[in-house]
Amino acid sequence: MAIHFHKVTIIGVGLIGGSFAKVLRATGLAGSITGLGRSRETLELALELGVIDHMELVAKHAVEGADLVVLASPVGTFEQLVYEIGPHLERGAILIDVGSVKGRMVHRIEEILPKEIQFVPCHPIAGKEKFGVFEATEKLFRGTNCILTPTKRTESAALNMLREVWITAGANVIIMDPDMHDEIFAAVSHMPHVAAFAMMCAVAELSTGTDNYLNFSGAGFKDFTRIAASSPEIWRDICLMNRDNIIQMLDRFLFSLNRIKQDLVANDAKRLEKHLKIASDARRGLG
Amino acid sequence: MAIHFHKVTIIGVGLIGGSFAKVLRATGLAGSITGLGRSRETLELALELGVIDHMELVAKHAVEGADLVVLASPVGTFEQLVYEIGPHLERGAILIDVGSVKGRMVHRIEEILPKEIQFVPCHPIAGKEKFGVFEATEKLFRGTNCILTPTKRTESAALNMLREVWITAGANVIIMDPDMHDEIFAAVSHMPHVAAFAMMCAVAELSTGTDNYLNFSGAGFKDFTRIAASSPEIWRDICLMNRDNIIQMLDRFLFSLNRIKQDLVANDAKRLEKHLKIASDARRGLG
C-alpha cells in the first residue's frame, strides 16, 4: 500500500503532535505539514525546528485542502475543534486524534463530524516525561503500543491506512472497542494518576516546623508521585471525560486501601501479609 | 578521630548489610567482619565475594568479642535478636541497626539491651531496587541521606563515631528524634508503599476476558507500582511496627482521594482542577 498525504494538518504541535509530524516527514508520508495552535511562539519554534512547513492560528484555514487532520491538543478541546473545522474539511479527508480517552469522546465526535469525513481514533501509549515540540522526535513511538478504536462508522480503508502509518512509526498496533479502551485506561492510567495527585495533596503540607516532610522523600516516593507533575488542565479534562470508569476504579482502590487499613487497625499480621503478597506477586509478574 | 573496630558482626548480609561491610573494608575501619544469617548459602556467597571474613549461624557466637554489631536483617527480627545477643555482647560494644522504622522499636530495644551497650539507631535511605549480597557495593550510600535517631540514653561519643562512619560512607547525616522519624517516614515511604500494594490488588485481577488489563500498563503505572514488588514479609513488619502513624497517613490519603472522587461525582471542573493543581505544583517542586 503506497500511502501519501498531500497536506497534513497537526492541531497542537507539542511532544506527540510534533513527533507524529516528524515521523511523517522522516518516512516521506506527507507532502506538506501545517501546524495549528494557540501559541504563536510554539508554532514559530516548530517552524524553526523544521517540524512543520506552515503555521496557522485559525482552525478553519489550517484544515483547508488537508487530507489528514490530527487532533493532538488536550482532549478537552476536541469537541469544540470538530465543530469549528467540520464544515471546512475536504470531502474524503481523514481525521484522527491522539488523545488518551476514547469512549464517549469518540461517539460525540462522530455525531458532530460530517458523514463524508472518516474518523480514526488513535491512542499512542508514548512516554510523556517531558513536554513540548522541542522534545519531539520521530523515535517516540518505536516499540510502544498504539491503540486504534474504530467504530461501526469507520471504513476499513481508513483504519488500515492509519494502522500502516503507526507501524511505520515503529508502534505495535492494537485494535480495540472505544468503551473497552476507557475501562482499561481508567484502571492502568487515569485512576493511578488521580491517586498520585491525591498522594501529593495528602503529604505536601506536612512539616516538622523547619523541614517539609517531602525533603525526606526517597526514590520510591518520587517514582510513586512522578505522574502527579502532569498538567492539571489536561488531567482535569481526562478525568471528567472518563469519570464513570474512574469513579468505579477509585472505588476498587478505596476498597483495597481500606482492607489494608483494617488489617493494621486489627494488628492482623497474617491477613496483612496475605494482602501484600497478592500485590507483590502481581507486580513482580509485570517487570 | 581515628575510628577502628576490631571485630564487626553484620546480622543479615543482604544489600544494606553487605554494602555497609564493604564500606568498612574499603576504608579500613574494620579489622575483621563476621556475617550472621539464617541462610548458609547467602553467607557462603558473602564469604566468596569477600564481603565478610567469617560466617556464623548462631547469634550468640557471632557477637562474641565484637565491638560493633549491626542489625541489618528485617526489622521484625530485631527484638528477638537483641534478646538473644544482649547477654553475649562485649561491655562497651556499640549496637546499630539499619532498619526503616525507629520510634517504638528503638524504645523497645533500649528496654531490653544491657545498660553498658550503646545503641545508635541508623536509617540509611539507600536505593533498594535490587536485593541480596550480590548487589552490595561500597558506593551504595554515596550522596544519600542517613538518619540517626539517638535517645537520651545514647552517649555522644558513640553517636559521633557512627556519624563519622556514615560520612566516610559518603552519606549526608541527619540527626532526628526516633518518633519524628516514624511520623515522617509513614508519610513519605510507608503509606505510599501501602498505596502501591493496594493499587496492585485493585487492578491485578481485571481482564477483558483474553487480556489482563495490566498488559496495557505504561511507564506511569509501572513507576507508580514499582514499590509494590517489595517483600511482603518485610513490609508486613514495617507496617505493623509503625501502624499508628501509617493509619493516620492513610486517613489523610483517603480524605484526598475521596475529595477528588467527589469532584468527579459532582462533575465540578473548577474544584477538580484546583485539587489537581495543588498536587502538581508540589510535585514539580520536588524534582
B170-190: per-residue pLDDT in tens? 999 999 999 999 999 999 999
Place of cell 557477637: B63
* CATH entry, A180-284, from 1.10.3660.10, 3.30.565.10, 3.10.180.10, 1.20.1090.10: 1.10.3660.10
Residues of chain B in contact with residue A129, where contact means CB-CB under 8 angstroms, are 219
pLDDT at B129: 62
User: Which residue positions in chain A have pLDDT lower than 70?
Assistant: 1, 127-129
pLDDT at B131: 79
Residues composing chain A: 287
Beta carbons within 8 Å of A39's beta carbon, 6+ residues apart: none
**What single-letter amino acid sits at B154?**
T
Record: fold of A5-176 = Rossmann fold (3.40.50)
Place of cell 536483617: B73
Residue B166: CA count within 13 A, CB half-sphere: 28
Q: Residue A129 in 3-state DSSP?
A: coil
Q: Mark B147-184 as b/e (b = at least 16 C-beta within 10 Å).
A: bbbbbeebeeebbebbbebbebbebebbebebbbbbbb
Considering only the beta carbons, identify the residue of B189, B199, B204 that sits closest to A192.
B199
Residues of chain B in contact with residue A272, where contact means CB-CB under 8 angstroms, are 236, 239-240
Q: Residue A76 in 3-state DSSP?
A: helix
Residues of chain B in contact with residue A282, where contact means CB-CB under 8 angstroms, are 200-201, 203-204, 214, 228
Residues of chain B in contact with residue A285, where contact means CB-CB under 8 angstroms, are 214
Which sign does the torsion angle of CA B208, B210, B213, B219 carry?
negative
**Lookup: cell for B38:** 539464617
Parallel/antiparallel/unpaired status of strands A30-36 and A68-71: unpaired
CA distance A62 to chain B (A): 30
Residue B145 to residue A216, Cβ atoms within 8 A: yes
Q: Mark B19-28 as b/e (b = at least 16 C-beta within 10 Å).
A: bbbbbbbeee
- Tell me where in chain A the CATH 3.40.50.720 domain(s) lie: 5-176
Residue B221 to residue A194, Cβ atoms within 8 A: no
pLDDT at B127: 67
Place of cell 476507557: A182
**Lookup: cell for B130:** 535490587
CA distance B91 to chain A (A): 35
- Tell me where in chain B the CATH 1.10.3660.10 domain(s) lie: 180-284
pTM over 0.80, yes/no: yes
Best residue in A185, A256, A284 for a mutation probing chain B (most B CBs within 10 Å): A256
CA distance A196 to B130: 24
**Lookup: cell for A220:** 520510591
Residue B247 to residue A261, Cβ atoms within 8 A: yes
CA distance A220 to A204: 16
CA distance B2 to chain A (A): 30
Residue B265 to residue A278, Cβ atoms within 8 A: no
pLDDT at B44: 97
Beta carbons within 8 Å of B205's beta carbon, 6+ residues apart: none
CA distance A247 to chain B (A): 6
Best residue in A123, A148, A188, A207 for a mutation probing chain B (most B CBs within 10 Å): A188
Task: Return the H-helix or E-strand segment holding A158.
Answer: helix A156-168
CA distance B85 to B97: 14
User: In this predicted complex, what is the ipTM?
Assistant: 0.88
Q: What is the largest CA-CA distance in chain B?
A: 68
CA distance B152 to B96: 16
Best residue in A177, A272, A281 for a mutation probing chain B (most B CBs within 10 Å): A272
User: Which residue positions in chain B have pLDDT lower than 70?
Assistant: 1, 127-129
DSSP string, chain B: ----EEEEEEES-SHHHHHHHHHHHHTT-EEEEEEE-S-HHHHHHHHHTTS-SEEESSHHHHTTT-SEEEE-S-GGGHHHHHHHHGGGSPTT-EEEE--S--HHHHHHHHHHS-TTSEEEEEEE----SS-SGGG--TTTTTT-EEEE---TTS-HHHHHHHHHHHHHTT-EEEE--HHHHHHHHIIIIIHHHHHHHHHHHHHHT-B-SSSBGGGG--HHHHHHHGGGGS-HHHHHHHHHHTHHHHHHHHHHHHHHHHHHHHHHHTT-HHHHHHHHHHHHHHHHTT-
CA distance B116 to chain A (A): 33
Backbone torsions φ then ψ of A285, nearest 5 degrees: -70, -15
Query: Which of left, alpha, beta for B151 (phi over 0: left; psi -120 to 50: alpha)?
Result: beta
CA distance B186 to B209: 38
Which among B182, B237, B184, B79 has a CA at the least distance from the CA of A267? Answer: B237
DSSP string, B232-267: HHHHHHHHHHTHHHHHHHHHHHHHHHHHHHHHHHTT
Residue A172: CA count within 13 A, CB half-sphere: 6
Considering only the beta carbons, identify the residue of B145, B217, B260 that sits closest to A197.
B260
Residues of chain A in contact with residue B253, where contact means CB-CB under 8 angstroms, are 198-199, 202, 257
Chains A, B: CB contacts within 8 A come to 283
pLDDT tens by residue, A218-242:
777 888 888 888 889 989 999 999 9
Residue A275 to residue B201, Cβ atoms within 8 A: yes
Give the C-alpha distances (Å, rounded to integers) separating B225 from A161, B188, B200. Answer: 36, 15, 7
Say how many C-beta atoms besides its own lie within 10 A of residue A266's C-beta. Answer: 11
